[in-house]
Structure 1
């Protein structure tokens, strides 16, 4: 069993903004490119362009379809098993605003609501009314996933050889491949699916937070950040010291209410997720009628207007 260091003075990690992530997979591709520069690189692939490619990915992006949320927050329907909410899309905490339309349709409308009147004309009309009242329209949530560099990582404490370890100076969790025996205990212990087994080398792999970049003094200071952060086209990924309350990432977490992934497990992940901002469906308004001044039209068009207006 590998021991953990005392609380680290620095907590280097990522802040991922789910509001601006568009699911382009640029983070995964950039990570693969930086860490797969040759057979001896951290991410070697065997026959990457064949019919049965094998390899390891440190970054993955999952996409989830989220159901609409109702306007009536004071009388929310009870959730059902058919709900598709933020919690279902990765257990991201309690910032999901509600329930799916299936649960909403299962609840009778309140007597004083517009649905009570519409529902009397048929179930189809009632469903259309509920959908029209959606305050949070249905949306797609893109959820990037990688190692969270937990403060109390289970993957480290179960390692029988000490190959998995947590750095005392900055909190980054790494794997010493020279000591790894490929037993896969760390992958079974990690609830986030951040560990992968390399069948090419017979050892476990994980995100290194691009430690070879962030401490590389030969690179310009602006480039001393993980490859996934630098490649993100929408700036949905941020890197910094989350132990410093005055750092940009800490202020961003405080302003946007950043959350831990599956905080109830008690592993205290360093990486934080910023919830999507509420979206309001555009009100359905009729387009204003265009006034036609027939006096300025040529004679032929005035005649045509009279014919078509009959």
Structure 2
């Protein structure tokens, strides 16, 4: 059985929120409908988003690290949100494993949001319907688009290629290889939901204050090659980002 999913590399996510804004733009104009925003420029903004980036700091000064953690629906293989839905609006699509919502059947009871241990569901306050990430189901199967564009909007928008998309049940897919070779892990596997989305663990780097023996500032002769070609070869940039920088 095919199971499409995201694999997110926490090493290269810079918290730019390009995934958040591209997701909002595509889904507002797509099958999901108009996603509500209330008081967007006031002190207490509120709105419907399928994808969010949480940013927090770890460690103790001066040895601290900032981590950006994107989170959306994990498209669980055993989704607890589906069996609790009283109208059958929440369902798991057999052909690709995506967990979706039939808006015509949703009554906004919020049972699915209470059942989801990841807080991945959001009620649209204007439509009174439950919404969530669809992995751009109306995009990835759209034959009117060039094949290279048949990916979730967040994947195409990421300037550092931190987001990978593919079939995790295909051992030869890019996502499966990344999980296998780089220790990809599921979020809160103890809940038994078998999340499809995976994260590539963040690797700690030695960091001290400038001037120390292990200072990250290096002489010009020892500086790492940061040319566009070198970064592309290491997989640190996608083509869209390279074109922008060029």
The reply to whether TM is greater than 0.5 is yes
Maintained 8 Å contact 2:50/2:73: yes
CA offset at residue 53 of structure 1? 5.1
3-state DSSP of counterpart to 2:142: coil
1:257 to 2:160 alignment: no
CA offset at residue 238 of structure 1? 0.5
CA offset at residue 157 of structure 1? 1.2
Give, in whole Å, the separation in 2 of the partners of 1:43 and 1:271: 26
**Which structure's residues are more often strand, by fraction?**
2
CA offset at residue 49 of structure 1? 4.9
Task: Write out per-residue CA displacement over residues 23-54 of structure 1, whole angstroms, 9 at most, x where no aligned residue.
Answer: 1111000000111128x853422556564654
Give, in whole Å, the separation in 2 of the partners of 1:285 and 1:262: 38
CA offset at residue 150 of structure 1? 0.0
Maintained 8 Å contact 1:43/1:55: no
1:34 to 2:26 alignment: yes
Partner of 2:47: 55
Q: TM-score, normalised by structure 2?
A: 0.81
Query: Superposition pairs for residues 171-186 of structure 1, below 5 Å?
Result: 171-186=97-112
Q: TM-score, normalised by structure 1?
A: 0.64
Give, in whole Å, the separation in 2 of the partners of 1:149 and 1:203: 19
3-state DSSP of counterpart to 2:47: coil
Partner of 2:35: 44
Gaps of 5+ in 1: 1-8, 69-100, 102-130, 132-136, 288-310
CA offset at residue 284 of structure 1? 1.8
1:20 to 2:2 alignment: no
* Aligned-CA RMSD value: 2.2
1:189 to 66, 90, 115: 115
Gaps of 5+ in 2: 216-246
Give, in whole Å, the separation in 1 of the partners of 2:214 and 2:67: 30
Partner of 1:64: 56
Task: Write out per-residue CA displacement over residues 44-92 of structure 1, whole angstroms, 9 at most, x where no aligned residue.
Answer: 2255656465431000000111105xxxxxxxxxxxxxxxxxxxxxxxx
Partner of 1:284: 212
Query: Superposition pairs for residues 117-266 of structure 1, below 5 Å?
Result: 137-266=63-192
Task: Write out per-residue CA displacement over residues 134-191 of structure 1, whole angstroms, 9 at most, x where no aligned residue.
Answer: xxx4200100010000000011011111000000111000000111111000001101
Partner of 1:107: none
CA offset at residue 15 of structure 1? 0.2
Task: Write out per-residue CA displacement over residues 208-244 of structure 1, whole angstroms, 9 at most, x where no aligned residue.
Answer: 1101110011111111000000000011000000000
Rg bigger for which structure? 1
Query: Superposition pairs for residues 96-111 of structure 1, below 5 Å?
Result: none
Task: Write out per-residue CA displacement over residues 283-307 of structure 1, whole angstroms, 9 at most, x where no aligned residue.
Answer: 82399xxxxxxxxxxxxxxxxxxxx
Give, in whole Å, the separation in 1 of the partners of 2:37 and 2:56: 30
